């Protein structure tokens, strides 16, 4: 592989690590706040904090690692993160089901957020993908689940964006979309996810250009969402002077950066597709 191609793949792999880091950071901060609000009444509520912290540390290490070979330690951390996220999803589903009324709108609104733990699984899967993507620098194809790795990473990022949109739609519906800006996370990222999914199935230059534009907009939207949520907290009684209560009440500050993390992994996957498959 040419020196330029090797540099593109190296940059994309480290960008995948960066996206995994943002997802892990979002889970770490969000679960810390939400589980603190729940008084850590179940000891298992400490597990996602430890797993997310490890995933964050491993991902930050990966963004600075220019070696071609994957790192066994990071592989183990990402596997742990993926399993922890799936277990958390099961715990949250159980928490909703055991409440009076079971799977009702009220419980979906106010019980443990059903989709939140899966962000940790995505961090693990995409981080593991970053490790395997480094092997593409040797010029050999890499497959996973019967697909070229680069296309699978695009598909996983697109599915992750779609799931995150679903979570945002549910909670913004609870808030009755009282602020017109609440429509943005349920309108911009879905199109980015659709274009990225199309690029994973049938890559072409036009689709890639459109997907890149919408993914970049989604990445910016993720950071802007933190500011909008901070404004929402300021509107609560006492504002930021009463931060110890209002941060718990929400809207959740750590949630929007998940869009940024998945947009970054999507952009990295597009770069890998273009470099390894020479999209026309």
Q: Cα dihedral angle (273, 277, 279, 280), rounded to 10 degrees?
A: 180
Confidence label for 141 from pLDDT (cuts 50, 70 and 90)? confident
Domain boundaries, the chain: 3-140+148-277
- What letter would DSSP give residue 251? S
Is residue 224 predicted with pLDDT exceeding 60? Answer: yes
Residue 175, pLDDT above cutoff 60: yes
| pLDDT value at residue 272 | 92
The upper half-sphere exposure of residue 78, i.e. CA atoms within 13 Å in the direction of its Cβ, equals: 28
The predicted structure's pLDDT at residue 143: 79
228 token code pair? 């909008």
Q: Give the chain's mean pLDDT.
A: 89
Question: Residues 57-70: pLDDT tens digits?
Answer: 999 998 988 777 77
pLDDT-derived band at 106, boundaries 50, 70, 90: confident
Model confidence at 1, in pLDDT bands (50, 70, 90)? low
For residue 170, the SS3 value is helix
More confident residue, 217 or 35: 217
Which residue, chain included where needed, has tokens 């996370």? 185
The fraction of the chain above a pLDDT of 70, given in percent, is 96
Please choose, from the candidates 165, 237, 167, the residue with its C-alpha nearest in 3D space to the C-alpha of residue 196: 165
Closest by CA to 271, choosing from 98, 101, 153, is: 153
19 has a pLDDT exceeding 70: yes
Token pair of 170 as six digits: 């549910």
Tell me what pLDDT residue 279 has.
54
Place of tokens 């009324």: 101
Asked whether the beta carbons of 24 and 56 are under 8 A apart, the reply is: yes
């Amino acid at each position: 592989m040419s020196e330029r191609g090797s540099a593109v793949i190296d940059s994309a792999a480290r960008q995948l690590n960066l996206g995994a880091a943002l997802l892990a950071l979002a889970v770490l901060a969000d679960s810390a706040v939400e589980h603190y609000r729940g008084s850590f009444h179940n000891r298992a509520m400490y597990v996602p904090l430890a797993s997310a912290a490890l995933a964050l540390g491993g991902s930050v290490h990966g963004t600075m690692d220019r070696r071609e070979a994957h790192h066994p330690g990071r592989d183990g951390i990402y596997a742990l993160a993926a399993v922890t996220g799936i277990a958390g999803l099961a715990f949250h589903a159980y928490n909703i089901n055991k409440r009076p009324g079971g799977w009702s709108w009220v419980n979906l609104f106010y019980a443990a957020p059903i989709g939140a733990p899966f962000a940790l699984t995505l961090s693990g899967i995409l981080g593991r993908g970053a490790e395997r993507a480094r092997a593409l620098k040797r010029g050999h194809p890499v497959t996973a689940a019967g697909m070229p790795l680069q296309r699978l990473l695009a598909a996983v990022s697109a599915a992750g964006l779609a799931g995150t949109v679903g979570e945002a739609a549910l909670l913004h519906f609870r808030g009755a979309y009282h602020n017109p800006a609440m429509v943005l996370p349920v309108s911009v990222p879905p199109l980015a996810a659709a274009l990225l999914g199309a690029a994973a199935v049938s890559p072409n230059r036009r689709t890639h250009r459109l997907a890149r534009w919408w993914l970049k907009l989604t990445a910016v939207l993720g950071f802007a969402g933190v500011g909008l949520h901070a404004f929402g907290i300021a509107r609560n009684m006492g504002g930021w002077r009463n931060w110890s209560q209002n941060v718990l009440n929400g809207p959740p500050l750590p949630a929007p950066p998940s869009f940024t993390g998945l947009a970054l992994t999507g952009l990295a996957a597009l770069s890998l597709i273009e470099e390894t498959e020479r999209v026309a």
